Amino acid sequence: MTLSPPLELDQIEHYDVVERRSAELLIREAKQRHRRRRFLIGAVLLAAVLPVVASIFLMRPNNDAPTSATSVNSFIASMKRADETGFVATYRVKNFSIFQDGTLVFAQIPSPPGTKALENKDGYSGSGKYSYIFYGSSGHLIRQWIIINTNVQGCVKWPTSPDKNLVCGRPGPYFPSNGYAEEGMGLIPPYVVNAVESNVGNGTVEHLSTGSSKKFGTLRCLTQDNSSPPTTCIDRSGYVVSWLDKANPTFSPGVTLTKLSYHPTASNFAPLVKPTVAFVLPPV
């Protein structure tokens, strides 16, 4: 066996430098391979995400071009057709008129087409059955309002009452006044239909878009820029699913449908307790 001569000090230092450079080179190559892998993975993810992002933006309404009057009229016609049917709708309300926050259960049975409206002694005429029950944000019953033809009937739980029981009045003739009109805001679907239609032609810029709801399926939405709240969404049959200001949900009024039934009964239009006073017009 031939032995190699021992290495000199300067040779050892030279080999140490070579080894360090080789190690640094290997590390750099490993980092480059890692960066290439990350780049390829990022490219694959980007390719997968871009079509989804594109589809989201394609679904957004074109707010630069106003919707045609024909399309708006068709939207309102759908709302009116739904409003001619009998149904029970439960709405969650927020900052809404005299009700503020809570849950409102609305019911109606319109008179059949061609029914002659009855007239009361004050000259007001009407037909059909309409009612609502309102529960406050804590879930406690607050008020009830019933309209049958030209008679109205109110029930209220007085906040200052010692027993805090619901008090119902006997039916009385409807009289157009502020108090009656404000109670009528609880008739949410007819009220929204009237509000949306009355905004048309008053310098309003309108846009139609589509949406979806887990409970109520495909939605059509109409935004009116001078309305508060500005956006109304309906389901395929024309029932009001929401009336909101999505840009300012904290302080603006809004209603959202949570339950819908097509089978109102006589109990929807009966006072919850036996009337004990002549008439009750709940405070506003």
User: How does DSSP classify residue 267?
Assistant: G
Supply angle C-alpha 160, 166, 171, rounded to 5: 120
What ranges in the chain are assigned the alpha helix state H? 9-59, 69-82, 178-184, 188-199
Q: Which of 162, 203, 200, 189 is nearest to 255 (CA)?
A: 189
- Confidence (pLDDT) at 242: 95
Supply angle C-alpha 229, 235, 241, rounded to 5: 40
- Confidence (pLDDT) at 19: 43
- Confidence (pLDDT) at 108: 98
Cis peptide before 229 (omega within 30 of 0): yes
Longest dimension (CA), the chain: 132
For residue 46, give Cα distances in angstroms to 29, 36, 43, 199: 25, 15, 5, 44
Q: Phi then psi for 100, rounded to 5 degrees? A: 60, -120
- Confidence (pLDDT) at 279: 86
Say which amino acid occupies 5: P
Q: Rounded distance, CA 208 to CA 224, Å?
A: 9
Which residue carries 């500005």 as its tokens? 230
- Confidence (pLDDT) at 69: 79
Q: Rounded distance, CA 227 to CA 194, Å?
A: 12
- Confidence (pLDDT) at 162: 52
Residues 232, 196 contacting (CB under 8 angstroms): yes
- Confidence (pLDDT) at 66: 58
| CATH domain 69-269 topology | outer membrane lipoprotein receptor (LolB), chain A (2.50.20)
Q: Rounded distance, CA 229 to CA 33, Å?
A: 56
Which secondary structure element, helix H or strand E, spans residue 221, and what is its range?
strand 217-224
Q: Which residues contact 225 (CB under 8 A, 6 or more apart)?
A: 204, 205, 206
Detail the DSSP E strand segments found in 110-160: 118-119, 125-126, 129-136, 141-148, 151-157
**What SS3 state is found at 224?**
strand
- Confidence (pLDDT) at 29: 52
Cα 99 from chain centre: 17
Q: Rounded distance, CA 126 to CA 110, Å?
A: 10
User: How does DSSP classify residue 277?
Assistant: B
Q: Which of 171, 172, 170, 186 is nearest to 108 (CA)?
A: 186
- Confidence (pLDDT) at 241: 97
Residues 144, 271 contacting (CB under 8 angstroms): yes
Say which amino acid occupies 139: G
pLDDT along the chain (284 residues), means of 10: 40 41 46 42 32 27 58 94 97 90 96 84 86 91 93 82 77 83 91 92 85 94 85 96 82 90 97 91 70
